[in-house]
Amino acid sequence: MNGIELCATGCSLPTRRVTNDDMAKLVDTSDEWIRSRTGIGERLFCQGGETTTDLAIGAARDALERSGVPVSQVGTCIVATMTPDWASPATACLVAQELGLAQDIPCFDLSAACTGFVYGLRVAQGLLTPERPYGIVVGAEALSRVLDFTDRTTCVLFGDGAGAVVVHGVPDPPLHAVLGSVGDLGALNLAGGNTARETYLRMNGKEVFRFAVQTIPTCIRRVLDEAHASLEDVDWVVCHQANERIIDAAVRRLGASPTRFYKNMERYGNTGAASIPIALDELVRQGMLRSGMQVLCVGFGGGLTWGGALIPYRHQKRS
């Protein structure tokens, strides 16, 4: 299977809505500052024991049901997350069990921060076979669990949620994807739960901002070069939804029209590995991403990691 197509999307969102004014009750900030610097208006946080695993299961089930694909034809389940509930078992194993997937397929979590979903698409493509040509790729985060609610430079930026896609392995066209990483502990870090270190997410916002603004255009150009395509051939560009100003700056650098660059961080904040599949699901539900269209997903984040993938959407509801 050289290529993949997106054939269904799903999502699962927590119900606790936290506005910028709510955040201003916790730290010295304001709706005006957060909106003007990030484009974020509110975010959703887990409540009442809701976990990353719950969100991942909900999103994966939603995508699988909407695809109509029988569980026997699913060849892998990958969950991209930096906030798994367990180091072991992997979230993906619990998702597979809950959905009743076959027991002889690889299911695992993938750690590439906010680029994890794009990495997951590329890895899934390599694992699909003619016998089991479908894969489930999930991005799921409960970032509210690792936020320091005394640090205004990070806690206002992030939210919780999960998105998922069912991908179909196809012989042709090949998947056009580029992935990369630059090791950097200071730009964004989050210690594992079993270390003696604090388990809050820490970030040098300016450094990540600079990295993202340089990386997004380079990544898009490299994917398009590989596909012998131009931005005019792409119906939607879905970047990781960290900050509106990052996407706007990247659009300016590309000299592109902003209309194809989808943005929804106003309602969810930065949901890490979940942000791209949540955005894809919104596009599909709103009828804006339709069968036959091409979508370019672009991730960037902790690691530092980056990645882009150009994928056709071809809905094929089976009975």
Catalytic residues: 114, 240, 270
Q: Which is nearer to ligand ACO, 2 or 150 (CB)?
A: 150
Q: Which stretch binds ligand ACO (CB under 6 A): 26-34, 50-58, 100-108, 122-130?
A: 26-34
Is the peptide bond between 304 and the residue preceding it cis, with omega within 30 degrees of 0? yes
The verdict on 241 binding ligand ACO (CB under 6 A) reads: no
> Looking up tokens 């959703």, which residue turns up?
44
The verdict on 180 binding ligand ACO (CB under 6 A) reads: no
Exposure pattern of 140-158 as b/e (b: 16+ CB <10 Å)?
bbbbbbbbeeeebebbbbb
Whether 141 and 273 have beta carbons less than 8 Å apart is answered as: yes
For the CB of residue 229, give the shortest distance to ligand ACO in the complex, in Å.
Answer: 27
Interaction with ligand ACO in 145-164: which residues (CB under 6 A)? 152-153, 156
Nearest C-alpha neighbor of 116 from the set 43, 179, 71: 179
For the CB of residue 144, give the shortest distance to ligand ACO in the complex, in Å.
Answer: 13
Using the rule CB under 6 A, which residue among 205, 218, 244, 248 binds ligand ACO?
A: 205
For the CB of residue 284, give the shortest distance to ligand ACO in the complex, in Å.
Answer: 24
Tell me the one-letter amino acid at 225: D
Please list the residues that pair with 298 across neighbouring strands: 239, 308
For the CB of residue 247, give the shortest distance to ligand ACO in the complex, in Å.
Answer: 10
The three-class DSSP label of residue 44 is: strand
The verdict on 33 binding ligand ACO (CB under 6 A) reads: yes
Q: Give alpha helix (H) positions in 164-318.
A: 205-227, 244-254, 265-268, 275-285
Write each residue from 35 to 74 as x if it is in contact with ligand ACO (CB under 6 A), else as -, in one continuous string.
Answer: --xx------------------------------------
Whether 295 and 260 have beta carbons less than 8 Å apart is answered as: no
For the CB of residue 269, give the shortest distance to ligand ACO in the complex, in Å.
Answer: 10
The verdict on 270 binding ligand ACO (CB under 6 A) reads: yes
**Length reported for the chain:** 319
Which helix or strand (DSSP H or E) is residue 123 part of? helix 116-127
The verdict on 193 binding ligand ACO (CB under 6 A) reads: no
For the CB of residue 306, give the shortest distance to ligand ACO in the complex, in Å.
Answer: 10
Give dist(CA 152, CA 34) in Å, integer. 10
For 271, the token pair is 């949901």
Interaction with ligand ACO in 98-137: which residues (CB under 6 A)? 113-114
The verdict on 144 binding ligand ACO (CB under 6 A) reads: no
The verdict on 243 binding ligand ACO (CB under 6 A) reads: yes
Q: Which is nearer to ligand ACO, 84 or 302 (CB)?
A: 302
Count of positions on this chain that bind ligand ACO (CB under 6 A): 23
Give dist(CA 272, CA 147) in Å, integer. 13
Whether 143 and 16 have beta carbons less than 8 Å apart is answered as: no
Q: Which residues contact 18 (CB under 8 A, 6 or more apart)?
A: 42, 43, 44, 45, 159
Using the rule CB under 6 A, which residue among 164, 178, 179, 242 binds ligand ACO?
A: 242
Sites of contact with ligand ACO (CB under 6 A): 29, 33-34, 37-38, 113-114, 152-153, 156, 188, 203, 205-206, 208-209, 212, 242-243, 270, 272, 301-302
